[in-house]
Amino acid sequence: MSDLLSRYAAPVPRYTSYPTAPHFHASVGSGEYAQWLSQETGPEPLSLYLHIPFCDRLCWYCGCHTKQTLRYEPVAAYVDALLDEIALTAAQLPGRKSVGAIHFGGGSPTILSTSDLFRLRQALDRHFDIVSTAEISVEIDPGYVDEGKLAAWRDFGMTRASVGVQDFDPAVQAAINRPQSFEQTKKVVELLREYGVGGINLDVVYGLPHQTTDSLRRTLDLALAMRPDRFAIFGYAHVPWMKKHQTLIDERALAGVEARYAMLQQIGAQLTQAGYLPVGIDHFARPGDSLAKALEERAVRRNFQGYTADRAASLIGFGASAIGRIGGGYAQNIQATGAYIRCVREGRLPIAKGFALTDVDRAVGDAIEALMCSYGFSLETLTQRYGRSAEGVRIDAARIHQQDRDGFIRFDGDRFEILPEGQPFVRTFASRFDRYFGEGAARHSVAV
């Protein structure tokens, strides 16, 4: 096993987009993005992502674009800018668009006051038609939310909540600066159900300092007792060169690659035994959940929020650092909140960088997304979509199959498939199709 891990667990991207964000560049700016928005003429509903880059506490393991604040004034000023950005963006669209999904991420979206949350809903309704069946999902930190805030999110229309667990072991919690009891978490889950929120997701992280397979098993037992609809299982990405607060974590207490792999295997066994269906590399869904249904229909998608049943072709990102994808490509907002606010106040779309997609990029991106979601793809399907632009994927598929000395790949000239033994290393196989991987100075977390 150590030999396999040495060959397949090297750092690679997580592939929530293709090309990945480190390859976005400043030659895509507000002008290009405005043009892409103006070309959104189709009838399909949009998806919206709203980024809230503030937290009541700063967890040391966190890799998000966020910061701790003890005062609400910076949050209020940020919400003002969000409202302006929503108006600026909607003005570039060729008409009033419908919205089928809204996701609030962060940071901690539940830091928002009830009045600011009401203002956001008013702004979205003013500029978009939010369909009655829209999924509205919110990331929640159980340590800093009360009954009143949850009621406000219910009134906003929340249909799904992603509740951060990470780990229930006190030693692990102390090592990542995230004290949070099981009782505290359970109370939030019970309130969400009482308020009619139909989808409960629990987020768990493996590879944290002082974590063991035994402690992780106990955490999952407690989490399973809350009967969530989904689990999102994330491998801790130790990237202190990007996130300086991660230097507060004792690297000597982190699990090595073999221990991380053992944790991942144990998680899969424990959750599937409990009746959850594995979705891609890190999600598990209860049968009957929309993600489980999408799995049956081979319609699971992967984007910056992870695995989703959302089939929208276009995602608009609002807020500092938010990334969207529309017809022309990817666009990412300015990351620094102060600069983001100034740009919006000046009446400009706050785009910092992006990537204009070619059909070759789209063909490779579709292949990688299919690998990440269902471990295989059809070259015939890619060729029907992209013609000769899919030829590079065909060449790479043949090469990767020919170089496969471990029997992890099946390829018949059309269907390229990663067999079960190789599926834990799907990120590594995806990177072998990536035409930009290795370019530039981007650094990544390990592949397991």
Model confidence pLDDT, tens digit, residues 102-117? 999 999 999 999 999 9
Looking at the structure, tell me whether residues 272 and 198 fall in a common domain.
yes
- pLDDT, position 130: 98
Helix 379-386 × helix 391-402 angle, to 10°: 160
- pLDDT classification of 193: cutoffs 50, 70, 90: very high
Interval 384-423: pLDDT, tens: 999 999 999 999 999 999 999 999 999 999 999 999 999 9
Interval 129-152: pLDDT, tens: 999 999 999 999 999 999 999 999
Looking at the structure, tell me whether residues 231 and 282 fall in a common domain.
yes
Looking at the structure, tell me whether residues 278 and 419 fall in a common domain.
no
Is residue 165 within 8 A of residue 203, CB to CB? The reply is: yes
Looking at the structure, tell me whether residues 297 and 371 fall in a common domain.
no
Looking at the structure, tell me whether residues 286 and 406 fall in a common domain.
no
Please check the confidence at residue 71 and state whether its pLDDT lies above 90: yes
Domain total of the chain: 2
% pLDDT > 90, the chain? 87
Looking at the structure, tell me whether residues 314 and 372 fall in a common domain.
no
Is 328 inside a domain boundary?
no
Task: Centre a 10 Å sphere on the Cβ of residue 21 and count the other Cβ atoms it contains.
Answer: 17
Give dist(CA 160, CA 285) in Å, integer.
13
Looking at the structure, tell me whether residues 222 and 277 fall in a common domain.
yes
> Average pLDDT, stretch 239-245?
88
Is 340 inside a domain boundary?
no
- pLDDT classification of 447: cutoffs 50, 70, 90: low
Q: What is the CATH number of the domain that holds 412?
A: 1.10.10.920
Looking at the structure, tell me whether residues 53 and 116 fall in a common domain.
yes
Q: For residue 281, give its domain range.
A: 23-318
Please check the confidence at residue 359 and state whether its pLDDT lies above 70: yes
Please check the confidence at residue 5 and state whether its pLDDT lies above 90: no
Is 347 inside a domain boundary?
no
- pLDDT classification of 58: cutoffs 50, 70, 90: confident
- pLDDT classification of 446: cutoffs 50, 70, 90: low
